[in-house]
């Protein structure tokens, strides 16, 4: 699924993203018909150029690193068409109704904690809550962090219906990105534990770091002390 937070800016990277996603989500597109040189290609032959890291990350989700899997260490054995269908399926049996509940709450905004999301942003949040993999693109200032925080809010709602002890992991490429995401999630009332070296965490988030949480918990402190002596 191709989503764009903004509709008018940064056309070149957007076109590149669409081309890349098109190759991943429609792997058979170039498998039929002419190859541009007047020659017919064999039906079913994949002609795609996917980033190796993305390919490995996706395949690892479906057993590439599992010795018992038929895909173990054999990325060519993967049916990309079937994989794209798997990635588009909801991760939980009740993902869609729970996502609708979360989206309805965000739109009604009874506590005033959510910003007024535009159409593409709501579509992006809904896709993230109902698909196994969602890529969201947008230049600076288009609300990607806000959308990610709202998606995390929805994930928490979904996961708490599975188990009250379920946790949601949110990652970022840099410390600054992780700080921004943590602050955005905290504004939505989510309980956040910021993991990372203290030197790389913003001053405003020092009280929600893992070290701070351990320092406030006597049981955790004792366990840490015992582990250090072992």
Pick from 37, 14, 43, 45: which is nearest to 136 by CA?
A: 14
| CATH code, residues 94-192 | 3.40.50.300
pLDDT score at 147: 96
For residue 77, CA distances in Å to 16, 88, 177 come to 27, 20, 36
**125 CB-contact burial (10 Å; exposed 0-12 / middle 13-18 / buried 19+):** buried
Tell which phi-psi region holds residue 9, choosing left (phi > 0), alpha (psi between -120 and 50) or beta: beta
- pTM above threshold 0.85: no
Residue 61 to residue 57: CA distance in whole angstroms: 7
Residue 155 to residue 130: CA distance in whole angstroms: 10
Contact 62, 71 (CB under 8 A): yes
- Give Cβ neighbours of residue 129 (< 8 Å, ≥ 6 apart): 95, 98, 99, 102, 103, 151, 154, 155, 158
Q: Where in the chain is the domain with CATH 3.40.50.300?
A: 94-192
pLDDT score at 85: 74
- Give Cβ neighbours of residue 38 (< 8 Å, ≥ 6 apart): none
pLDDT digit string (tens) for the chain, length 230 residues = 444 444 444 566 556 656 655 555 444 444 443 444 444 444 333 344 455 555 555 555 555 555 655 555 555 555 666 667 777 788 888 999 999 999 999 999 999 999 999 999 999 999 999 988 888 888 888 999 999 999 999 999 998 888 888 889 998 888 999 999 999 999 999 999 999 888 899 999 999 998 898 888 888 888 888 888 87
pLDDT score at 226: 86
pLDDT score at 57: 53
């Amino acid at each position: 699924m191709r989503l764009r937070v903004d509709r008018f800016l940064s056309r070149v990277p957007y076109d590149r993203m669409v081309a890349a996603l098109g190759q991943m989500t429609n792997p058979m597109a170039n498998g039929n018909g002419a190859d541009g040189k007047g020659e017919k290609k064999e039906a079913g032959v994949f002609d795609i150029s996917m980033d190796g890291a993305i390919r490995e990350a996706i395949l690892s989700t479906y057993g590439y690193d599992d010795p018992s899997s038929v895909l173990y260490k054999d990325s060519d054995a993967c049916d990309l068409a079937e994989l794209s269908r798997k990635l588009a399926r909801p991760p939980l049996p009740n993902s869609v109704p729970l996502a609708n509940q979360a989206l309805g709450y965000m739109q009604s905004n009874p506590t005033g904690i959510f910003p007024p999301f535009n159409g593409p942003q709501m579509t992006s949040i809904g896709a993230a809550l109902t698909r196994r993999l969602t890529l969201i693109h947008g230049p600076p200032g288009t609300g990607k962090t806000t959308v990610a925080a709202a998606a995390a809010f929805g994930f928490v709602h979904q996961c708490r219906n599975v188990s009250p002890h379920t946790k949601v992991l949110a990652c970022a490429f840099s410390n600054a990105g992780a700080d921004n995401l943590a602050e955005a999630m905290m504004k939505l009332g989510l309980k956040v534990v910021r993991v990372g070296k203290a030197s790389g965490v913003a001053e405003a988030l020092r009280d929600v770091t893992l070290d701070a949480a351990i320092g406030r918990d006597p049981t955790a402190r004792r366990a840490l002390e015992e582990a250090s002596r072992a």
